[in-house]
Structure formats: structure tokens, C-alpha cells
Structure 1
Amino acid sequence: MSALGAGASTTAKNLAVFIDADNLNDATALDHVLLTVRSLADRVIYRRAYGRPESLKSIHAVLWRHGVRPVANLIVDKTTTDSALVIDAVEAVCTNDIHIVAICSGDADFVPLATWLREKGCRVLCYSLANKIFANSESFYDDVVLLDVVEPESPPDSEAKVAAPAQASPSQATAAPTEAPPNQVKPTPPAVSSTVVAVPSVKNILAVLPELRTNKPLHLSKAARKLRDAGVLGEKSSSTPLFRRFPAQFELLPPEQPNTVKYRG
């Protein structure tokens, strides 16, 4: 399972992180990523986030906490997020001794940048929300970390329920109004915090299920059992949604009610 920060060397000297705030603008996920990259190198010398003003505003508290420099789009008809990020990343690598570059976006527009960075000798990491990553991303990055933001279920609000007042009898309805009771303080609902779950990558799945590389169908029950034993899949989770996250790599058969999975290669 590609946990946050897994797969990257911890001996690097300098790291740069570039955030596409128009793509990865979930504050909880971004906070986890920025905490993680700190441990991947001695110094994080570039910390920048690019996007529309409203995108940057939604994560401004996280950017402030981690000392990330926001870079707003120019006021033109088209967004300038991608171009600004690419220019700064190229300049950073050309003028500094940077060993790792973390791109926080699942946008395929950054594939040429990732390819160029790898050719320059940089280790290139991708952090993305699981529902925003493009297909076959692992072919262009050294490591891809997918993130799911999970909202825990709120506990039953039984204590907060107030019994409905009994219906007044006719004699009570004509009685003189009494002094209204003091305002009752409504109980504060429990705070709901989000958690980030790293989604297994194609590389993780193939490491647990190497038989898929033969391009022969594998029964889903067998695949699920091995994935659970390896800790890649939850104890009660189904493997079908996991394989459906990567339609370019895995084919579920038959499509209507699948019982096997095949690696497309």
C-alpha cells in the first residue's frame, strides 16, 4: 500500500513542492501531504500553490500553517495555473540543487513537466485525490500517492433530542400566558473531523498479485483474499471498487456482474 510518504528516499537534500490548488484544494488532504513531504528531504526550499483566488482562499489556513507561498492566476480569460506552475518548477530545478519534486495535482497537463524533471535526474512524486487522477499516471511519476478524504459518520444525536410539548387541553388553552422559560442552550453537535486514506496504487496491487502480469483472468475472491492479507484492502472491503479506480490497467469480466479481473498491461 502506498502510504503517505512511502517509496521516496529520506536521504535527499532539497525538495520542492508545487500545488495545483485548482485540482487539489481539499484542506485536509493537502495538510497531510505537506506534513509528509517534510520528512522526505533535509529542506523543502520551494513551497508554492497556484490557482484561482477562490481556490487559494479555501486552503489559505493550510498554506499559512506550512509556509506555502500562494500564487494567484493572472486576470485573463483563461486560467494560468498550469503555466505558472510549470515555469516556476523549471526555473527552480535549473537554479537550485533539487533532488525531489512533489507535484500536488492529478491533472495530465503536468505529464511533460514530470517527464522533463525525471530526465534532469529529479525524483518526481505525484499527490492527488483518488477521484481526480488521470489514467496510467504511474508511467510518468516515480511514485503516485492517491488520497481519499473520508468523513466519519456522526453519532446518533439522541441526547440532543427534545421531547415535544404535550398538547394543551382546552382549559389550558384559555389560561393566562405564563412567563416564558429562560432560553435553553442548544447542545453543541460533536465536531466531525476528516481523515485521509491513501489508496493503493497499481504498483502496490501488482506487487501483491504478480500473477496478473501474465494477463490471465484472476478470480476476484482470490484477489480480495490476498489483498486483505497484505493489508492493501480493508477486512470487509470489496476488491471490485478498487480495480474500477484503474480502468486503463484492469478489466473486470463480465462487465455486468464481474467475478474475475484481468490486467491490461
Structure 2
Amino acid sequence: MTAFFIDADNLCAPAWVEEAFRTLEQHEGSVSLRRAYGSADKLKGLGEVLRTRMIRPYMNLSLTKNTTDVALAVDVMELSYEPSHPSTIAIGSGDADFVPLVLRLRERGFRMVCLSDRGKMAPEAVNAYDQVFLVGQEADAVTEAPAAVQDAAPPAPRSPAAKKTPARKTTPRKAAAPKPAVQAALSRKAPAKKAAAKKVASTTAAKAADGRRARSASGAGEAVSVRNILDHAPALKAGQWQPLGDIVKLLHDAKLLGKNTASTKLFKKFPDQFELKPQTQPNAVRYLPEAR
């Protein structure tokens, strides 16, 4: 029996929750118990995937400090003492706050699995789990995942001829890598790759500069469309109010919004497609699909 507890304040993109769920089913089998914990806004943004995957939402109390992690941990510990408790417990969060909970449950014989957004996996939390899967499309994801960390997407199939080549014999050694290598992979790059990384960064910076110059010549922001915004912030497609800060972070990550660019200025370019509230110092945004 497998139980999946999602910290919706951490793993908050609908597409990534769906990817995490598929990955968990693929590697651990059927998921019997499914719960998501978070604020009302975060759970509302995940409404469609919670409905289709039959994940029970647990709304957190509206307090001055976010207590979602504690609420999730209390329920996990309570479940672990039930007579029909699960053998595998999956935590949908890369937050290091869950490490004491994970270590205690591993001591009691539970298999502990983590499913985290690539950009939110705490390096110090990796060794606490039996298995870690990373989801999402962040550019700074681990490029060579050691034994305990795997990308959610399965590797591309190899041709029969390729399997017979001597080079493929190095694959088992990767599975036997010691766990300390996992943390090293998340906290620093291998020295041999630094030169290549600098070259890529230089090329990327040059392309970005070219793009900025092109936009300044034809009018800033014209390269950003409503489709771009919806593709990188899919929670908006539901037409429900979303926290402006969460949407802005996704747009920053996708390079659709500069660090010094006001987010409200971008949305006000499309007054028929997006609505902000309140009028002064807005903190929420929604898409108006009927206006398309």
C-alpha cells in the first residue's frame, strides 16, 4: 500500500502534480491514499488535477504563519500507527522541514519517497529518502541524477545495437554510486563541466542581449503573448483567481518577465484577457477565457 501526501504550498503547479502522480504509480504501483495540504488559493489552483486524480484536499487554517508542513506531518504520523498503515509513504515536497519526519518513519521500517519540483529540492534532504524523483521543466535541474535521484520522465529506449556496445556497461556503476554523491550532484557541478557550463551561459547571455535589443527597437514586451503566459502558468487557464506572486515567479523562471519589470505592467498590456485585484497594489490575477 502506498500513500501520497502533497504539500500544495511547495508542489503547486497542476502539471507537476500530475507528473508526480504518474511517476509514483510507475515506480511504486497503485496509490491507495491521496491527500493534498495547502492554503485555499493553492488548493483551488490545483482543483482540476485533484478532481481527476481523486486527491482529497485538506485546507490549511488562515494564520499569520504558514503551518501546512506541520498539519501534513501530524496526519502522516497518525496514519503510520494505524493497523492498516501503508508500507510506502511519498511526500510531495522538497522542503527540508520534513527531514525529521522522514528519518523517524524510516527507522520504523517505512519506505520513504520524495517527489519534488526540480527548483525546490533541498540538497540536505536528499539522503533522508529511499528514493527522490524530480518533476517540472526548470533549466537548473540535475543533469546526471545519481542512484537516489531520478528524473520523473523515463529514459529514451535504446536500439539493440547500442545495448551491445561496451560503453553501455558503465550503467550499473551509476546505480551503485554512494549516497553522498547525490548531495554533491545537487550542491555543485563537476569540475570537468564548468568550462562547458560557462560557454553555455555566455551563449545564453548573448542571445538574451540580442533579444532585448530587438525588443527595444520594436517596443518592449511585444514578444510576450497571452499564449506564452498561459503555457508557462497553466493554472491561469482555469479562469480562477491565482496568487500574483506565484504566477510572477513562473514567468520569471520562463524569462518572460525581467527582474526589474513590473508584473502588473505586463498583464495590463492584455486588459481583455487578464484581470488584477485589488486595483491598487494587486495581489491576485485571473485569466478571462471568454474574452478570447
TM score, norm. by length of structure 2: 0.50
Q: Conserved in 1, the CA contact under 8 Å of 2:123 and 2:183?
A: no
The 1:19–1:63 alpha-carbon spacing in structure 2 relative to 1, beyond 3 Å, is same
- Greater Rg, structure 1 or structure 2? 1
> For the Cα contact (< 8 Å) 1:146–1:200, is it kept in 2?
no
The sequence identity of aligned pairs, in percent, is: 32
> Would you say 1:144 and 2:83 are equivalent positions?
no
Written as runs of structure 1 = structure 2, the 5 A alignment for 1:94-243 is 94-95=81-82, 96-149=84-137, 200-203=144-147
Amino acid aligned to 2:147: K
Q: Does 1:16 align with 2:38?
A: no
Distance 1:25 1:199, change over 3 A: farther
Which structure features the higher share of helix residues?
Answer: 2
- 1:44 Cα deviation after fit: 2.7
Whose relative contact order is higher, 1 or 2, with alpha carbons under 8 Å and at least 6 apart? 1
Which one has a larger percent strand, Structure 1 or Structure 2? Answer: 1
Cα distance in 2 for residues equivalent to 1:22 and 1:58: 11
Q: What RMSD in Å do the two structures reach over aligned CA positions?
A: 3.4
Hey, what does 1:252 align to over in structure 2? 191
1:25 corresponds in structure 2 to: 12
* Corresponding residue SS for 1:47: strand
- Give the distance between the partners of 2:194 and 2:22, measured in 1 at CA: 40
Q: Quickly say closer, same or farther: Cα 1:57–1:133, change in 2 above 3 A.
A: same
Does the C-alpha gap of structure 1 residues 19 and 199 become closer, same or farther in structure 2, counting only changes over 3 Å?
A: farther
TM-score with structure 1 length normalisation?
Answer: 0.55
Q: 1:112 to 1:61 in 2, by over 3 A?
A: same
User: Does the aligned pair in 2 maintain the 1:252–1:258 contact within 8 Å?
Assistant: no
TM-superposed CA distance for 1:244, in Å, is 11
Work out whether residues 20 and 135 of structure 2, in 8 Å CA contact, stay in contact via their aligned partners in 1.
no
- Please give the per-residue CA displacement for 1:98-121, whole angstroms capped at 9, x wherever unaligned: 110010001000001111111111
For the residue of structure 2 that corresponds to 1:71, the secondary structure is strand
Question: Which 5+ residue runs of structure 2 have no aligned equivalent?
Answer: 150-166, 172-181, 199-292
Judging changes above 3 Å, is the alpha-carbon distance between structure 1 residues 150 and 139 closer, same or farther for their aligned structure 2 residues? closer
Pairwise CA distance, 1:72: 1.1
2:43 corresponds to which of 30, 33, 56: 56
5+ unaligned residues in a row in structure 1: which ranges?
1-13, 152-196, 206-225, 231-242, 260-265
Cα distance in 1 between the residues matched to 2:184 and 2:136? 12
The alpha-carbon deviation at position 93 of structure 1 amounts to 1.2
Q: Distance in 2 between matches of 1:29 and 1:258?
A: 26
Equivalences, count: 168
1:16, 1:244 → 2: CA distance? 26
